[in-house]
Amino acid sequence: MTILAPAGAIPHPSRFTHTDADGDRLLISTALFDDGTPGLYFRTDPNGSGLPLTDLDALIAQLQVIAKASRAEADEAAAHPTA
C-alpha cells in the first residue's frame, strides 16, 4: 500500500517562502491533483501574508520554476503509477 502525502505537505525544493513584516508566512509549492494534473499549492497563515512589490519579480520567476517542477512531478507520477 502506498500513501501519498497531500499536496504541499512536503514542500518541493523549488518552493517559494516569504515571511512578512508582522511574521505571517507564505508558502507556494508544487501540487499534484488526484487525476495527475500538475498545479501550484498556496498556503498562508490565517491572517494571510503580504508581499512587497519589490519582491514581485522574484515571486514571478520562482512561480515558473515551481510550475516546471510540478509538471516534472506529474510526468514522473504518470511514468510510475502506484496501484
Report how far residue 17's alpha carbon sits from residue 11's, in angstroms, rounded to the nearest whole number. 10
Per residue in 21-79, pLDDT tens?
999 999 999 988 888 899 998 999 999 999 999 999 999 999 999 999 999 999 998 99
Q: Are 37 and 74 in contact (CB under 8 A)?
A: yes
Q: What is the 3-state secondary structure (H, E, C) of the chain?
A: CCCCCCCCCCCCCCCEEEECCCCCEEEEEEEECCCCCEEEEEEECCCCCCCCHHHHHHHHHHHHHHHHHHHHHHHHHHHCCCC
Report how far residue 57's alpha carbon sits from residue 46's, in angstroms, rounded to the nearest whole number. 25
Q: Would you place residue 3 in the very low, low, confident or very high pLDDT band (cuts 50, 70, 90)?
A: very low
At 1 the pLDDT is 43
